[in-house]
């Protein structure tokens, strides 16, 4: 076995193909460079067989490794190549001094992506093991199929479980597609906190969407949350998911998403709206506003009777499932002001728009989901700071002042809106219609703790997801931030003079050599172990995943990713002239369109007019058809054509009279 590592400018480009057809007029960087290194395997060791280090061209300067590490960090954060070049140009001082361009950054991103996709499952297991050492409450579980291939993956951070202990009474669950390389649908358990913000309880990646898979997902989620069932869970209209919920969450009320119920019949409902004026307004009024099931059913019957739609299949289908999605049937159940899976879909849309795509490997996907979780925690922290001072009240009622001190700012704003809507109306003095009960204070039993400023409860474990502080009490991120500030300040002072620059370079070189000799600190980790954590799977044989085939996508099974090119490059462009994929374009097409001459006696031309353009609206001539010469398929047709220019001018189609 031997391998050859050659210069990227070795060889030469072939301007002509085997058949003599020209390629596209594209320049090549290959100059026949002979620089190469050939190694050969003998037994268990590699030996150099041939070494040629001389290049026949000027070498491009290699970027410093620290710069490329910074480029990798920017690319992992979703920064575009152009924005990355702008950042590097700003730091470097001059764009012309950069040893790279936009294409180099794109190639590096593609190469890094191919490397990330290799042994993806093993890297994912390492990520899970690392976070479990930070906090033993980090929970994950993996299901394998009969062939030993990963089928379903679930994980939940410590802060997610803490949020569920406080706000897990109402949960929305939905799956989304095209969020990772293996086309595995992403499912997120999402709820609402005391600031009415989205909070995440757990993540799951599934191969399929069968009842058996959903049962595993819900059972794993329940085990992670110490067996606590939510009061209500909202999903879309999926029968497999509904059966799994009924089997796992026995005490949980299952509510269907109102938006999905109506959106599923959009086409049929639009036809009904078009043919029955005023139906849409009455339908939405009946769905949204009735206070009791009896009021809704009466309003529905009046509506279908008025428009004679008692036997309409769409309305009958919606009415049969009324107890699963109409708001009036859930008045006695706490649903957290939720009527749809909008919170889950909002999180799915945000994840796919700003964090992941269909090329994201699994271990990178898990890291991105941690970033999403941290963004949610930052948003909650900012709102907590903004809610420290009581908001301004609109009245002097003691009840309003009490609620302004108890509830968070977002919840109290909802109360004020309801208060204004319930009191801003005119009444006539026709008797004691309204009686003031003199209630000055809301009893504590009616105050829901989950919406108060003190909604966070004391748990028997640490809700922090990472523990990376050293002996000085600073995390690695804190040390990095402090050192960067000092480094930038030193650079700004050093670039002002030659003496300062030389002094900076000398001192930094000595300092780096000294720092590399200092051993790294061992970050303390907790040695407690959680009994419900799954066993460590790093020692098991992890096979490459297959691409999922779900209800929303039909992707074919993909092989394990490999590093490097995957066979010859396939032509995907077509010539706008002949329409063939022959590696050329309109300018270099071997069959250019012929310029046809039109005689002076053609229809539409004046008798004495020459070969110039005609006058009036029909200047091109009524009898002349503008066409291109059709590409001849057979060489025999080309041989029959004698190339006489006079014959070509007689027929607008040349030798092919059928064009």
Mean pLDDT score, 80-97: 79
- pLDDT band for 1, please (50, 70, 90 cuts): confident
User: Which is more confidently placed, 272 or 341?
Assistant: 272
- pLDDT band for 302, please (50, 70, 90 cuts): very high
Residues 626 and 620: beta-carbon distance below 8 Å? yes
Query: Closest by alpha carbon to 202, among 157, 265, 149?
Result: 157
Using the predicted structure, report yes or no on whether residue 355 has a pLDDT greater than 70: yes
Q: At what angle do helices 158-167 and 362-386 cross, to 10 degrees?
A: 50
* Helix (H), strand (E), coil (C) string for 511-544: HHHHHHHCCCCCCCCCCCCCCCCCCCCCCCCCCC
Mean pLDDT score, 526-549: 51
Contacts of 384 (CB under 8 A, 6+ apart): 195
Sign of CA dihedral 413, 418, 421, 426: negative
User: Which is more confidently placed, 517 or 629?
Assistant: 517
Contacts of 9 (CB under 8 A, 6+ apart): 29, 30, 31, 32, 33, 55, 57
pLDDT (0 to 100) of residue 431: 59
**Highest mean pLDDT of the ranges 133-137, 222-226, 628-632, 636-640:** 222-226
Query: Closest by alpha carbon to 139, among 121, 117, 162, 173?
Result: 162
The span from the CA of 376 to the CA of 384, in Å, is 12
The span from the CA of 467 to the CA of 137, in Å, is 12
pLDDT (0 to 100) of residue 624: 44
**Counting every residue, how long is the chain?**
659
Q: Where are the domains of the chain?
A: 2-52, 65-116, 120-257+340-380, 263-330, 388-423+437-451, 476-517
Burial class (CB in 10 A: 0-12, 13-18, 19+), 403: buried
Considering just the CA atoms, what is the radius of gyration of the chain in Å? 36
* Alpha helix ranges (H) inside 231-341: 239-248, 258-263, 266-275, 279-288, 293-307, 313-320, 322-325
pLDDT (0 to 100) of residue 572: 61
Residues 122 and 130: beta-carbon distance below 8 Å? no
The span from the CA of 168 to the CA of 227, in Å, is 12
Q: Which CATH architecture has domain 120-257+340-380?
A: 2-Layer Sandwich (3.30)
Q: What is the pTM of this model?
A: 0.67
Angle 394-397-403 (CA atoms, 0-180°, nearest 5)?
80
Residues 651 and 598: beta-carbon distance below 8 Å? no
pLDDT (0 to 100) of residue 436: 67
- pLDDT band for 238, please (50, 70, 90 cuts): confident
| pLDDT more than 90, % of the chain | 23
H/E element holding 201?
Answer: strand 198-205
Q: Which two tokens stand for residue 181?
A: 């390389």
- pLDDT band for 317, please (50, 70, 90 cuts): very high
Q: What is the number of other CB atoms lying within 10 angstroms of the CB of residue 283?
A: 22
Q: At what angle do helices 120-134 and 362-386 cross, to 10 degrees?
A: 40
DSSP, res 555: P
Give the SS3 label for residue 164: helix
H/E element holding 41?
Answer: strand 36-42
H/E element holding 161?
Answer: helix 158-167
pLDDT in tens, 248-289: 999 999 999 888 888 888 899 999 999 899 999 999 988 888
* Beta pairing class for 553-554 and 232-235: unpaired
pLDDT in tens, 589-633: 777 665 444 444 444 444 444 444 445 444 444 444 444 333 334
Q: In which order are the strands placed within the sheet that holds 45-52?
A: 2-6, 36-42, 45-52
Residues 200 and 376: beta-carbon distance below 8 Å? yes
Residue 175's DSSP bridge partners are 187
DSSP, res 346: H
**Largest interatomic CA distance in the chain:** 109
Q: Which residue has the tokens 């995957």?
A: 566
Residues 193 and 199: beta-carbon distance below 8 Å? yes
- pLDDT band for 497, please (50, 70, 90 cuts): very high
| Average pLDDT score over the chain | 77
User: Which is more confidently placed, 642 or 412?
Assistant: 412
Query: Closest by alpha carbon to 489, among 474, 477, 504, 499?
Result: 504
How far are the Cα atoms of 361, 559, 608 from residue 358, in angstroms, in the given order? 9, 15, 68
Residues 215 and 244: beta-carbon distance below 8 Å? yes
Give the CB-side neighbour count of residue 576, counting CA atoms within 13 A. Answer: 2
- pLDDT band for 477, please (50, 70, 90 cuts): low
pLDDT (0 to 100) of residue 279: 92
The span from the CA of 529 to the CA of 520, in Å, is 25
Give the CB-side neighbour count of residue 140, counting CA atoms within 13 A. Answer: 23
């Amino acid at each position: 076995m031997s391998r050859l590592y050659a210069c990227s400018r070795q060889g030469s480009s072939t301007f002509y193909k085997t058949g003599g057809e020209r390629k596209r007029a594209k320049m090549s960087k290959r100059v026949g460079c002979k620089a190469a290194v050939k190694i050969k395997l003998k037994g268990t060791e590699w030996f150099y067989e041939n070494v040629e280090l001389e290049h026949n061209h000027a070498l491009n300067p290699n970027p410093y490794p620290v710069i490329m590490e910074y480029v990798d960090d920017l690319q992992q954060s979703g920064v575009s190549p152009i924005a990355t070049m702008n950042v590097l140009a700003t730091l470097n001082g001059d764009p012309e001094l950069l040893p790279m361009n936009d294409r180099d950054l794109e190639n590096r991103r593609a190469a890094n992506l191919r490397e990330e996709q290799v042994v993806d499952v093993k890297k994912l297991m390492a990520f899970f093991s690392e976070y479990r050492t930070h906090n033993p409450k980090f929970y994950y579980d993996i299901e394998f199929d009969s062939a030993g291939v990963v089928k379903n993956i679930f994980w939940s951070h410590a802060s997610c479980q803490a949020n569920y202990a406080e706000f897990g009474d109402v949960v929305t669950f939905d799956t989304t597609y095209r969020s990772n390389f293996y086309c595995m649908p992403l499912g997120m358990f999402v709820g609402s906190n005391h600031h009415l913000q989205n909070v995440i309880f757990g993540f799951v990646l599934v191969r399929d969407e069968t009842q058996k898979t959903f049962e595993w997902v819900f059972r794993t989620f329940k085990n992670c949350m110490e067996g606590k069932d939510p009061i209500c869970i909202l999903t879309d209209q999926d029968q497999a998911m509904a059966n799994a919920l009924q089997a796992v969450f026995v005490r949980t009320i299952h509510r269907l998403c109102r938006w999905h119920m109506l959106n599923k019949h959009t086409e049929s409902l639009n036809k009904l709206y078009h043919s029955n004026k005023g139906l849409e307004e009455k339908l939405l009024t009946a769905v949204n506003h009735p206070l009791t099931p009896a009021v809704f059913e009466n309003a529905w019957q009046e509506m279908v009777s008025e428009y004679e739609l008692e036997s309409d299949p769409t309305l009958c289908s919606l009415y049969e499932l009324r107890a699963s999605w109409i708001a009036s049937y859930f008045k006695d159940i706490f649903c957290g002001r939720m009527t749809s899976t909008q919170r889950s879909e909002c999180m799915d849309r945000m994840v796919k728009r700003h964090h992941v795509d269909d090329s994201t490997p699994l271990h990178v996907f898990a890291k991105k989901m941690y970033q999403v979780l941290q963004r949610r925690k930052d948003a909650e922290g900012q709102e907590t700071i903004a809610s420290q001072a009581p908001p301004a009240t609109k009245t002097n009622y003691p009840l309003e002042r009490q609620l302004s001190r108890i509830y968070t700012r977002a919840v109290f704003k909802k109360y004020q809106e309801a208060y204004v809507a319930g009191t801003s109306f005119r009444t006539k003095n026709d008797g004691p219609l309204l009686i003031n009960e003199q209630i000055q204070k809301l009893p504590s039993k009616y105050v829901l703790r989950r919406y108060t400023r003190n909604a966070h409860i004391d748990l028997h474990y640490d809700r922090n997801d990472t523990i990376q502080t050293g002996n000085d009490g600073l995390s690695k991120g804190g040390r990095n931030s402090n050192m960067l500030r000092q480094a930038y300040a030193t650079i700004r002072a050093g670039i002002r003079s030659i003496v300062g620059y030389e002094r900076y370079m000398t001192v930094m070189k000595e300092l780096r050599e000294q720092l590399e000799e200092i051993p790294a600190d061992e970050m303390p980790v907790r040695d407690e172990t959680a009994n419900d954590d799954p066993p460590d799977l790093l020692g098991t044989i992890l096979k490459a995943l297959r691409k999922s085939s779900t209800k929303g996508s039909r992707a074919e099974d993909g092989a394990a990713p490999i590093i490097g090119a995957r066979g010859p490059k396939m032509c995907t462009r077509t010539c706008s002239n002949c329409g063939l994929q022959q590696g050329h374009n309109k300018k270099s097409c071997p069959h250019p369109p012929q310029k046809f001459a039109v005689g002076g006696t053609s229809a539409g031309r004046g008798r004495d007019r020459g070969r110039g353009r005609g006058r009036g609206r029909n200047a091109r001539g009524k009898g002349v058809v503008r066409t291109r010469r059709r590409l001849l398929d057979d060489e025999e047709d080309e041989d029959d054509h004698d190339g006489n220019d006079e014959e070509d001018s007689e027929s607008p189609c040349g030798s092919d009279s059928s064009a």
